[in-house]
């Protein structure tokens, strides 16, 4: 078994190469590293628990310093929001290329500070350095932490048969917007100015924090939100696949119900990528008790978050299924997210 060519490792690699080797066993760790789980949970005294999540930091020259900082903060914050609580603390390790000058670093770091400050996150430490040989859109990594009542924390492990499967916003928000911002001439020439501008505007729709916090608030009053998982690599179908495995349940997805904008369709076709399987930060998968789902969707709408029922959670024996073109077929994990290959191929070809 080898690494995927690019992107995040898959479940089989994780189970064989990573999971058996996770240091000491400590009783207070109630959720450790697991496939499809956004956060780890450690029990603390007095009924509290500490949730932690880690992610790479983005530094994408074709995108810009402000936009890269937004992704660096927001993608981790999205993971934490799946608990129903906002992140409180952050640590950042910056492994920077030697081509990054002091002025650009200063701007990048001030943007990270700005976005953390907006979310109420205290930056509590980390490490910063420049290193030869770094030629990547990844500039290190970070960890976010929050402390909350343990019994109120939601994870991706709690979905149960009979629950309703809900998706917020639309698919492929971040993949579509990064492509439009990184290759504006190509997208404009092939898809038109309106589509390029529409796709570019999706970039700041890539926060799932509002959805997670609204769902968390609803859960604390109704005890009816069973699981949350944000849509990252592998897209909305990959996220549902992961949530189902984390919860040990089956799913039945109605493909035609999944919201997809015109920009995602046209840019997906141009770059030969399926929006349903492309990184989609900003969207959230939520499972909820069927009798409370309409009220949850109404509550999300009051918090300016559009939500759509896209399927249901089923018994494990029913498997992972998707209703597509009048057929019910097996849901397959896509493997490596097709966005990565499409982006770097276009970059190598010199597309503008």
DSSP for 298-327, written as a single string: HHHHHTT--EEEEEEEE-GGG-EEEEETTE
Ranges under pLDDT 50 in the chain: none
Question: Do 107 and 58 contact (CB within 8 A), yes or no?
Answer: no
- For position 133, what pLDDT does the model report? 78
Which pair of structure tokens corresponds to residue 105?
């670093």
- Kindly state the helix (H) or strand (E) to which residue 174 belongs, with its residue range: helix 173-182
Q: ∠ at Cα 310 (329, 180), nearest 5°?
A: 95
Question: Do 140 and 100 contact (CB within 8 A), yes or no?
Answer: no
> Distance between CA 43 and CA 25 in Å, rounded?
14
Question: Listing from the earlier edge strand, what are the strands of the sheet with 320-324?
Answer: 225-230, 284-288, 164-168, 307-314, 250-254, 320-324, 327-330
CB atoms within 10 A of CB 352: 13
- For position 121, what pLDDT does the model report? 98
> Distance between CA 278 and CA 233 in Å, rounded?
6
- For position 7, what pLDDT does the model report? 66
Which pair of structure tokens corresponds to residue 47?
């009924």
Q: Across the strands, what pairs with 328?
A: 323
> Distance between CA 66 and CA 101 in Å, rounded?
15
> Distance between CA 37 and CA 34 in Å, rounded?
6
3-state helix, strand, coil in the chain (%, to 5): 40, 25, 35
Give the residue carrying structure tokens 């690699």.
Answer: 13
- For position 6, what pLDDT does the model report? 63
Summarised one tens digit per residue, pLDDT across range 130-188 is: 888 777 788 899 999 999 999 999 999 999 999 999 999 999 999 999 999 999 999 99
- Kindly state the helix (H) or strand (E) to which residue 76 belongs, with its residue range: helix 65-81
Domains and CATH numbers, the chain: 11-152 (3.30.1330.10), 164-348 (3.90.650.10)
């Amino acid at each position: 078994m080898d690494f995927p060519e690019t992107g995040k490792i898959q479940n089989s690699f994780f189970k064989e190469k990573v999971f058996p080797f996770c240091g000491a066993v400590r009783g207070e760790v109630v959720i450790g590293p697991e496939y499809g789980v956004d956060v780890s949970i450690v029990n603390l005294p007095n009924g509290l628990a500490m949730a932690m999540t880690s992610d790479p930091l983005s530094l994408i020259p074709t995108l810009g310093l402000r936009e890269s900082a937004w992704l660096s903060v927001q993608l981790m914050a999205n993971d934490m929001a799946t608990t129903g609580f906002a992140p409180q603390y952050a640590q950042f390790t910056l492994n920077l290329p030697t081509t990054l000058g002091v002025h650009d670093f200063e701007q990048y770091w001030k943007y990270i500070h700005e976005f953390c400050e907006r979310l109420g996150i205290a930056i509590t430490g980390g490490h910063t350095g420049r290193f030869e040989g770094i030629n990547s859109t990844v500039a290190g990594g970070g960890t976010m932490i929050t402390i909350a009542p343990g019994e109120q924390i939601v994870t991706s492990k709690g979905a149960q048969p009979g629950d309703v499967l809900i998706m917020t916003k639309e698919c492929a928000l971040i993949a579509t917007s990064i492509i439009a911002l990184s290759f504006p001439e190509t997208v404009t020439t092939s898809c038109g100015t309106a589509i390029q501008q529409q796709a570019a505007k999706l970039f700041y729709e890539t926060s799932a924090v509002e959805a997670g916090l609204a769902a968390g608030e609803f859960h604390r009053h109704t005890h009816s939100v069973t699981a949350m998982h944000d849509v990252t690599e592998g897209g909305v179908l990959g996220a549902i696949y992961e949530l189902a495995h984390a919860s040990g349940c089956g799913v039945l997805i109605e493909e035609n119900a999944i919201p997809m904008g015109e920009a995602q369709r046209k840019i997906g076709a141009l770059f030969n990528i399926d929006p349903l399987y492309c990184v989609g930060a900003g969207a959230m998968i939520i499972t909820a008790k069927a009798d409370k789902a309409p009220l949850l969707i109404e509550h999300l709408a009051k918090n300016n978050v559009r939500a759509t029922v896209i399927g249901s959670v089923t018994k494990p024996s029913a498997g992972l299924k998707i209703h597509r073109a009048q057929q019910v077929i097996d849901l397959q994990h896509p493997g490596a997210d097709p966005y990565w290959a499409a982006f770097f191929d276009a970059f190598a070809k010199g597309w503008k």
